Amino acid sequence: MQNPENSAPLLEVENLSVEFHTDGGVVHAVSGVDITLAPGEVRGLVGESGSGKSVTSLAVLGLLGTRRARITSGRILFRGTDLLRIPERELRGLRGSHIGMVSQNALSALDPSFPIGAQLVEVIRRHQGVDRAAARKLALESLELVRLPDAPRRLRAYPHELSGGQRQRVVIALALACRPELLLADEPTTALDATVQKQILDLLLRLNDELGTAVLLVTHDFGVVSHVCDSVTVMRRGKVLEQGVAKDVLRDPQHPYTQALVKAVPRLHLSESERAVPRQQRRLHEFSEVMASVGEAS
């Protein structure tokens, strides 16, 4: 990871607000959110469902369906360009070649009717304008980059022939095919087994190291954050509650919500005093307790 302090920020989300117009009224999915990402930085965007974390990452990609969602304020500066103010054609050019996306469900991200090699080639050709042979070579390199076993044969495989972890590797390969500077990953490992999750996260770390790709990782899991992220932003109900260096925030969270979130999860590694309590009597800190102790309803 490159030193974040010495370079101009890669991504700056400034005062972003997004509204959804539903039958039940207006929902403020995101309210006045500020996030910065330096080149090569891995930042976790943490929150529960309804926190606005996914909406934020979709906004960066310009993928919010325009029918019901409205961006009511803010700028999203990518290398100085406000993504909210450029024409769709330009945005499409950025997507794929400069900004990549990995979503939670790899099966739906891949077209089930085409072999994965063909999908990789299509993306590469569209953004890099090379001929088919060159694109195929690049596709193979991408699959090797994500350490997909037996890559040359896999080029002809269909998505359903691969396991969940392999599919996620392919999706990452697709996202990185044109070596973008920024990767948006929305719960990329939530649907995977723990052992596979670790492999995928280690892959992301390695890619971040080798390619210098910055990552904005949306997750609900602080364990993931501690393993992969340099920095973290905690969101709740559309607002940013706190952010900072991941180690610091996890060791000593400032906001009671963050404290509650970290304490409420059962843990494998317990301290001596925790282990001393007989299992029958062990209880977790309930959210309402912590929030009530700070005088706020959860």
Partner 1 sequence: MSSTQAAQRTTLSRVPRQRGSRSPGRPSRFRLGVRAFCRDKVAVGALVVLVLVALASVFAPLLAPHSPTAGDSTMRLEGIGTPGHPLGLDGQGRDVLSRLLYGGRYSLLVAVVPVLVVFPIALATGMVAGYARGRTGEVIMRVLDVLFAFPLVLLAIALAAVLGAGLGNVMLAIGITLVPYMARVAYTTTVQEVGKDYVEAARASGAPTRDVLLRELLPNVVSGLLVYATTLAGLMIVVAAGLSFLGVGIIPPTPDWGIMTSDGASVLLEGKYHVATIPGLLILVVALSFNLIGDGLRDALDPRKQTS
Partner 2 sequence: MTSRYEQVLVVRDLRKVFGNPTSGVVAVDDVSFDIARGQTWGLIGESGSGKTTTGRMILGLEPATAGSVDFDGNEIVRARPKTLQALRRRMRMVFQDSGSAFNPRRPVGDQITYGLQRYGIASGAEARARTVALVERVGLEAAHLDRYVHEFSGGQRQRLGIARALITDPDFVVLDEPTAALDVSVQAQVLNLLKDLQAERGLTLLLVTHHLALVEHMCDHAGVLEHGRLVESGPVDRLLTDPRTETTRALLDAVLEPTA
Task: Count other C-beta atoms under 10 Å from residue 90's C-beta.
Answer: 12
Site residues for partner 1, window 26-65 (CB under 8 A)?
none
40 with 11: CB under 8 angstroms?
no
Residues 161-190 that bind partner 2 (CB under 8 A): 164
Cα(12)–Cα(216) distance, integer angstroms? 12
Judged by beta carbon distances under 5 to 8 A according to partner kind, the member of partner 2, partner 1, none in contact with residue 67 is none
Q: From residue 243 to residue 282, what is the string marking binding to partner 1 with x (rule CB under 8 A)? A: -------------------xxxxxx--xx-xx--x--xxx
The side-by-side arrangement of strands in the sheet containing 25-37 is 25-37, 11-22, 69-78, 81-82
For the sheet containing 214-219, what is the strand order?
99-102, 182-186, 214-219, 42-46, 231-236, 239-245
Residue 258 tokens, joined = 């963050």
Binding test (CB under 8 A) with partner 2, winner from 22, 65, 129, 194: 194
Q: Report in angstroms how near the CB of residue 236 gets to partner 2 at its nearest.
A: 10
Give the shortest CB-292-to-partner 1 separation in angstroms. 14
Query: Which residue of 270, 292, 294, 296 would you call a contact of partner 2, by CB under 8 A?
Result: 270
Q: Tell me how far, at minimum, the Cβ of 222 lies from partner 1, in Å.
A: 11
Q: For residue 181, which of 35, 12, 38 has the smallest C-alpha distance? A: 38
Nearest to 181 by CA among 37, 75, 55, 44: 37
Nearer to partner 2 among residue 55 and residue 91 (C-beta) = 55
Between 26 and 284, CB nearer to partner 1? 284
Residue 154 CA to residue 161 CA, distance in Å, equals: 9
| Residue type for position 257 | Y
Closest CA to 179 of 147, 136, 212, 157: 212
Q: Which does 141 bind (CB under 5 to 8 A by kind): partner 1, partner 2, none?
A: none
By beta-carbon proximity to partner 2, the closer residue of 90 and 202 is 202
In the block, tokens 């006045």 appear at 32
Binding site for partner 1 (CB under 8 A): 262-267, 270-271, 273-274, 277, 280-285
Binding site for partner 2 (CB under 8 A): 48-49, 164, 193-198, 201, 220-227, 250-251, 260-262, 264-271, 279-280, 282-288, 298
